Amino acid sequence: MKTAGKKKYNTFYKTRFSLFIKSYTAYSIRDYLKGKYKIDDSLTKSQLYECFSNKRAIPEISRLSKALNLNYQLLWQFVLLGKGRKLNTKVSSQEKIRAYLAVESEIITLKNEREEKESIIHEDYERALLSPAIERAAGNRLKNIKDDLVFEKRLEELKKQYQRWYYETAHEHKLPTLVNFPLILRLIIS
């Protein structure tokens, strides 16, 4: 009976890590650390291992690992090597998970688009990114609707559902959201 519990535990943390590395928080932290430590994508894996042979050389990863209760080695590989874990197909087929990933993907896209145009204030992330990201993710889901009134009605319903699912998934898997992002960033940088 213990092995069934352990398997469920391992599956939860694998899923949690896979969802985290696809999130805006992970994307931003990885971007920040790559810039701070001048990690270039052109470096080979062996060169990276050489530069950071002591895997404890990056204290921010250690603090992030402790703060979010994520595996240090997996985080280290994600930040430095860009390695991630694929999401289990059973999990990724769940509607809530797909909605969460769609919203996170749109947040990253919006952030990149806005960064190209102008600099935005870090504390304004939730208002500036979450609502448009949810709207875009919900809009992408609605296809082949020719009537504008029907589209608007379905879009409003789907936006509410996506927002609920986004927060439910984040809560269920203990993932950071845009609300927590400034706190996490201050925690690992300090």
Query: What are the average pLDDT values for consecutive 10-residue runs of the chain, which has 190 residues?
Result: 57 90 94 84 69 68 92 88 80 86 94 72 60 93 86 94 95 92 88
pTM over 0.85: no
pLDDT of residue 81: 82
**What is the radius of gyration, based on Cα positions, of the chain?**
18
d(CA 83, CA 141): 28
pLDDT of residue 5: 56
DSSP secondary structure of 140-162? HH--S---HHHHHHHHHHHHHHH
pLDDT of residue 124: 52
CB 20 within 8 A of CB 175: yes
Burial class of 89 by CB neighbour count within 10 A (0 to 12, 13 to 18, 19+): exposed
